[in-house]
């Protein structure tokens, strides 16, 4: 609520913000670290984003999911084998007589092209996922800090026997329990 002006409010009659017989709004004090993200998505933006993801999934109908065990057993071209694709493509092009008859070169060329495309898509997706994950964590942190402040106020109010505060405290304390220090006492059995 705005504070009433008083005779010693350090305002003069023609100062900016001076109001005759009125109130001066007090700025809200917010700790800068408590709000790392301040944003909102409209319903239309959310619909558009989900539609874009649906489009991406529709364009990649061949995507599969591997179990952790399958991933460990499956040989792979990874970063420690950098240059493998280019080197093998060059050598196989120069020495087609050494390619085993059971290697389907048409399928290998398709795989090579797809791997290159997937690398580009994966790079973009990783960047987007990192931003989404980091922002999700920061927003959760903002919320946690606000909740913690409210909880601490309720806890103090309950200690001072403010009416109704104990019930609120009992409802909230389960979210802030640490190794037994604030744990609720066990309910006696009849």
Residue 30 has pLDDT above 70, yes or no: no
Which of 27-36, 76-85, 143-152, 157-166 has the least mean pLDDT? 27-36
> CB atoms < 10 A from the CB of 168, how many?
17
What's the pLDDT at 182? 47
Of 158, 174, 178, nearest to 166 by C-alpha is: 158
Name the CA radius of gyration of the chain, rounded. 31
Do 4 and 22 meet the contact criterion of CB atoms below 8 Å apart?
Answer: no
**pLDDT at 27 > cutoff 60:** no
pLDDT tens readout for residues 77-115: 877 777 898 999 999 999 999 999 999 999 999 999 999
Mean pLDDT of 157-161: 94
Residue 50 CA, distance from chain mean position:
16
Q: Which of 18 and 82 is assigned the larger pLDDT?
A: 82
Q: Supply the mean pLDDT for the chain.
A: 84
pLDDT at 89: 92
Which residue has tokens 């290998």? 108
Crossing angle of helices 84-94 and 105-159, rounded to 10°: 170
At residue 78, the pLDDT reads: 74
Task: Tell me the average pLDDT across 120-149.
Answer: 94
Whole-number pLDDT of residue 124: 95
Beta carbons of 11 and 23 less than 8 angstroms apart? no
Cα distance between residue 86 and residue 63, in whole Å: 24
Check whether 187 has a pLDDT greater than 80. Answer: no
Range with the lowest mean pLDDT among 26-40, 60-74, 109-123, 161-175? 26-40
């Amino acid at each position: 609520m705005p504070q009433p002006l008083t005779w010693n409010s350090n305002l003069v009659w023609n100062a900016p913000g001076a109001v005759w017989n009125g109130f001066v709004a007090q700025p809200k004090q917010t700790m800068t670290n408590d709000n790392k993200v301040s944003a909102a998505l409209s319903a239309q933006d959310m619909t558009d984003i989900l539609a874009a993801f649906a489009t991406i999934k529709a364009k990649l109908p061949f995507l599969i999911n591997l179990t952790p065990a399958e991933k460990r057993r499956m040989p792979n071209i990874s970063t420690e084998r950098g240059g493998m694709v280019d080197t093998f493509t060059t050598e196989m092009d120069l020495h087609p007589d050494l390619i085993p008859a059971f290697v389907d070169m048409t399928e290998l060329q398709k795989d090579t092209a797809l791997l290159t495309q997937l690398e580009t898509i994966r790079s973009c997706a990783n960047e987007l996922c990192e931003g989404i994950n980091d922002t999700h964590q920061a927003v959760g942190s903002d919320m946690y800090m606000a909740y913690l402040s409210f909880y601490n106020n309720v806890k103090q109010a309950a200690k001072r026997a403010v009416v109704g505060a104990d019930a609120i405290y009992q409802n909230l304390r389960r979210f802030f329990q640490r190794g037994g220090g604030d744990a609720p006492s066990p309910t006696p059995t009849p």
